[in-house]
Structure 1
Amino acid sequence: MKKRILFTTIFRPFSKPGKYNLPGDEKFLDYFSNRLTREPGLFVLHDNHPTVAPHLIAANIDADVTVLETPTIEEFKEELGKGYDIVAITFLTLHFPKLMHMVAWARKLAPEAKIVIGGFGTALYDLDRLEVDGVCQEEGIGYMRKLLGQSLKDPVEHPVITFDIGLRVGVQHPGLPKKRVGILVNGFGCPHACEFCSTSAYFGRKHVPLLGTGQALLDTMVRYEREAGVKDFIIYEEDFYLYKRHINDFIAAARGHGTLFSYGCYATIKALSQFDIEDLVDSGLSHVWIGVESIESPFNKSMGRPIREVFEELQRYGVTTTGSIIAGLDHHKRDNLRGEFEHLASLFPSTVQISNLIAGPGTPLRERLAQENRLIVDQLLIDSHLYSDQVVHPEFGRGELRELIFQGYDYIYETIGPAVYRMMKTWLEGSRNLRRSPRERLRARGELLARRAAAFRPLFLDTFDFLPNDAVRAAVKECVAEMEADVGPPDEQALATARLFRETFESEVRRLEREGPHVYEPPTRTSRYAGRGGTFTTPAVPMTPIKRPFDVNVERLRRA
């Protein structure tokens, strides 16, 4: 008889300050509004990203599995009464107090079940005090297969996992356009071994492949299209282009397939420098996250072509980019950190991430800083996140870097405009260049980019006064005018959509003035996997607005 397994994330709410949450914790569940498009205006993007690992594991073990995402504690307790053999809880470091609470309830309500914990939070020390039955500190599919006595040689099948991206204001005002994206996990870990990198440390500075060949990756994309109608993907792999043989196999497979798939990925300058960017675009590259880290990047992964040259070439081909930097590196001072923000803005990345230096458990950085007596020892676990102070820096007082990081986000927004404008401008430039290519697939991709840019145009046709300043307004107007000369004037449907955006923005400003800002808790999502290959999912519960602030400044909107 198959084992019954419950995989669960940490419970919500996340927006209620107390012993489990700090104010603003709910923002960390939204990659776009908290990180990549962290902006003070109304052009901010939003996503409700699923927890990927439990789905990957559930689809590849011989068991009856329920995956429970962001339940309330009452929903978790109710689920515990359904007779599970194993209760597996995934968590991050800042959620450790919640984990302890869930383990206690699991012991009480499911005393016969084995309790297993996993996720990046397991890099913490002294987990023995939890008295759980297992701690997964390795690749999860293999770990669970060993626990169940299943063969490690069984093939791995990637489940279909999707999420939607749209404007954050669209959560409060439904009806705005959204984009559905598929998630693909190609592998784990990274051999670059940057001293700050928690994921590299977690997997022992080794690469653990999941989809073994480029053909297998393309076959998975084809299955997504067939089962979910999805042709756009985000590929999770620490440095996708590092593995040249695998990528050449994927490029060849993609060229031989009729569908124009598009994907975003993570890559280093070192890995990108191995390839002709045009070949990568031909394979479907549409977005890439590059760790810029610093003007004076001391990391091996930054070796290769000049970083500005790479960003400019990517943009010529219509590839949107994420540029990320770290504040608080050893060489940072008050008089050079502003230069980091200026350098990042000059690269014109479509989205950005600015993080504090994080010395995660198990990393060489943490070991070095411990020897230098530079770790903040009284930091609460629930304050362990992208912007928290973990390191004593000789140039900055406690909390100062966090405020400078937020100023850096504002500087990016006020200097080069909202992220959605930067995306549109990049697509427009790429469409012009690719449509002149001698390669048929690239010309077709140029047409695809033209349609994407045109789809974003209605957002800006009647919202110029919501942009941050005159310089940005002029840049956006110029881009819209160039698009009209290139692809023609907006049709009636585009004009109607423009009116919808205008009305939505005005309505949101009135609502903010009347009711105050809101934050949004994620829904509870329940998925069931009936052994390998079988799955069904219950509908998600709609998001519930809760009255607490997020980063929209009404006075600033009025001044704009």
Structure 2
Amino acid sequence: MGREQQTKKILFTSVWRPIGPSVGDGESVGYELLHGQVTRAQGIYSPRVVHKQFSLDYIAENLDTPSKVLHYPSKARLRRELQNNYDVVAIAFVLSTSHHAIAMCQLIRSVAPKTKIILGGYGTVMSDEELLPYCDTICREEGVTFMRKYLGQPALDQDNYVHPHIFSRMRIFGIPVSVTGMVFAGLGCPNACDFCCTSHYFKNQHIRLLPTGKSIFDLMHTQRQKYPDCDHTILDEDFLLSKTRAHDFLELCREKQVAFSTFCFASVKALKQYTCDELLEMGIDGVWVGYEGKAAGYEKHRGVNIDEFIKNLQAHGITVLTSMILGIPYQSDEIARAEFDALMETNPSLSQFLIYGPIPGTPFYEKVMKEELMHGDLIKDRRQFYKQCTGFYAMMKHPFLRRDEIEQLQRDFYQRDFEQLGPSIFRIAQIKLNGYLKYRNHANPLLRKKAECFRQKLMTFLAILPCGILGPKISWKHRLAYSKLFIKILGMSSFKEKRYLLGIPVMLGAAAFTWINSKLNLHEHPFTRVFSYLGRKPIVPASPEVEFLGQSPTYESV
């Protein structure tokens, strides 16, 4: 009898809740990338999106075996689920949540001792000696391939993978403002930056889950059939690096005259292959760019004035999320502050500031260990080291700065970013206005259509901007700027679109409630989300509790 026949019931799960600094985890550990790591100093103005462990749904969708996926179960919920006699439980985790994964393994061993445990995710850069006492198998490769092999199922060509339909919803002041279709285009990155775990985990190779421009276009078109006004996020470490795939996608956008609204991850090296017009024709109006350190010498920055590059993107209506690294050996306090000031001059839409950290499996980690640069307390206590693998702790000796000085710089930069530039949500509104004014009368009909998309998205700010004009912790300079922006958008609106003004009292009330909620720490943890899969077949609900159809979009709660 093959392993597939023996293994009939499979449970995939993220780490359990609660997680986060309030329960002893490292800084930024949580359910939200933006609020926890990017807009963390922006208080009530921070956009909120809870991110599920998407990889689990992707794997479950591509098995021939029925399975269930839990996102952020409580300990009680997991214990109850284990009563269903699963043959396999697979847990996805990262280094900073490894202690939760290990505790889950211990619970599974006590409640369901016959169940096989698989550990997967970027946390598996930990050694076998650290993980195998708690599990039976470790997945350190692309998950669908691994699980099908483990279950004795025939290999699938990646061109035949089924892409799950997963949507997320962004909230501002607790009010849903946008729906985003998640596009899983690839894994890994060939840029091989010395600190990058996701690149080195896949041995600096790029795995294309959506291999052609047509496969990406078709998926996004299908998502729009479900939600005609949805945005898209392309999850691929450097989506635009493959010019052939991107060009095919561009030609389809031109042929079909479809104006998408898409956010993607891209290096300067990749972006400079395209004009801003071409990016917007592809619908790319938001990019995450590694600013890193200006003197770090990364090949992906070579030959480009990154400050002018960012300014040019935003002048054309493309929002830019910049990621700066602190604690690089050449950075003295003076140099780090000068680089920060230069970044602020570009007026980035959003900013992330992470501390240069040694993650197992990367060349930088090998260098730190070889040269004995790791702080002694972290060498002695590996559990504490892993908990601090968040980008918010100085873990190695620095030639110029003390540990506490680097961490204080990071706190200062997040706060100064907010104070100098104001909330990101209003910066984004200004960038969208730039795009509309730039392209509203353009000769290219697709770019005119894109300009109209910018204009329509600006209408929601008729309800949101008054919260910036009247809200707390906003400078008078920014209040005046938001008032002028509000008047400009109002002047662009039709009589019908002025209905958004009716939303002002709702948004003001929601902002007040958000402020109270932030003071009382209410609704700190999301609800459990549960999906049941039949495996490459139609999906059915598992129970009426908090279960949802796997191919239907579900919206996260904060």
Q: Same fold (TM over 0.5)?
A: yes
Give the structure-1-normalised TM-score: 0.90
Match of 2:151 among 148, 170, 176: 148
State the Cα distance separating 1:104 from its structure 2 match: 1.8
State the Cα distance separating 1:330 from its structure 2 match: 1.0
Aligned to 2:9: 4
Amino acid of the structure 2 residue aligned with 1:71: P
Aligned mates of 1:519, 1:404 — CA distance in 2 = 30
Q: How does 1:443-522 map to 2 (within 5 A)?
A: 443-461=448-466, 463-466=468-471, 467-487=473-493, 492-509=498-515, 516-518=520-522, 520-522=524-526
1:439 aligned to 2:444? yes
Amino acid of the structure 2 residue aligned with 1:495: L
State the Cα distance separating 1:153 from its structure 2 match: 3.1
Aligned to 2:136: 133
Aligned mates of 2:424, 2:407 — CA distance in 1 = 21
1:535 aligned to 2:528? no
State the Cα distance separating 1:9 from its structure 2 match: 0.8
State the Cα distance separating 1:462 from its structure 2 match: 5.5
Aligned mates of 2:517, 2:124 — CA distance in 1 = 42
1:160 aligned to 2:162? no
State the Cα distance separating 1:289 from its structure 2 match: 0.4
Aligned to 2:195: 196
State the Cα distance separating 1:492 from its structure 2 match: 4.9
- Please list every run of 5 or more consecutive structure 1 residues that lacks an aligned counterpart in the other structure: 171-175, 545-560
Report the count of equivalent residues. 533
Aligned residues of 2:106 and 2:134 also touching (Cα < 8 A)? no
State the Cα distance separating 1:352 from its structure 2 match: 1.0
Deviation string for 1:355-409 (max 9, x for gaps)?
A: 1112111100011111221112423032321212222213222233222212101
1:399 aligned to 2:401? no
State the Cα distance separating 1:311 from its structure 2 match: 1.7
Aligned residues of 1:462 and 1:499 also touching (Cα < 8 A)? no
Distance 1:17 1:283, change over 3 A: closer
- Please list every run of 5 or more consecutive structure 2 residues that lacks an aligned counterpart in the other structure: 379-383, 542-546, 549-553
Aligned mates of 2:491, 2:334 — CA distance in 1 = 43
State the Cα distance separating 1:258 from its structure 2 match: 4.6
Aligned residues of 1:322 and 1:351 also touching (Cα < 8 A)? yes
Aligned mates of 2:195, 2:470 — CA distance in 1 = 41
Aligned residues of 1:35 and 1:352 also touching (Cα < 8 A)? no
Aligned to 1:524: 528
Aligned residues of 2:102 and 2:134 also touching (Cα < 8 A)? no
Q: The residue matched to 1:261 in structure 2 has which SS?
A: coil
Moved more, 89-98 or 482-491: 482-491
Distance 1:101 1:511, change over 3 A: closer
Aligned to 2:122: 120
Aligned mates of 2:270, 2:497 — CA distance in 1 = 42
Aligned to 2:49: 47
Aligned residues of 1:295 and 1:343 also touching (Cα < 8 A)? no
Amino acid of the structure 2 residue aligned with 1:526: V
Distance 1:33 1:246, change over 3 A: same
Amino acid of the structure 1 residue aligned with 2:30: F
Aligned residues of 2:39 and 2:424 also touching (Cα < 8 A)? yes
Aligned to 2:544: none
Aligned residues of 1:89 and 1:118 also touching (Cα < 8 A)? yes
State the Cα distance separating 1:54 from its structure 2 match: 0.4
Aligned mates of 2:269, 2:20 — CA distance in 1 = 40
Match of 2:388 among 383, 395, 401: 383
Give the structure-2-normalised TM-score: 0.90
Aligned residues of 2:191 and 2:300 also touching (Cα < 8 A)? yes
Aligned to 1:365: 364
Amino acid of the structure 2 residue aligned with 1:117: L
CA RMSD of aligned residues (A): 2.3
Identity of aligned residues (%): 28
Distance 1:158 1:118, change over 3 A: same
Aligned residues of 2:308 and 2:346 also touching (Cα < 8 A)? no
Match of 1:98 among 97, 100, 105: 100
Aligned mates of 2:268, 2:283 — CA distance in 1 = 18
Aligned to 1:549: none
Amino acid of the structure 1 residue aligned with 2:478: V
Amino acid of the structure 1 residue aligned with 2:539: T
Distance 1:489 1:414, change over 3 A: farther
Q: The residue matched to 2:256 in structure 1 has which SS?
A: coil
Moved more, 477-486 or 131-140: 477-486
Amino acid of the structure 2 residue aligned with 1:133: D
Q: The residue matched to 1:144 in structure 2 has which SS?
A: helix
Aligned residues of 1:56 and 1:159 also touching (Cα < 8 A)? yes
Aligned to 1:339: 338
Aligned residues of 1:10 and 1:70 also touching (Cα < 8 A)? yes
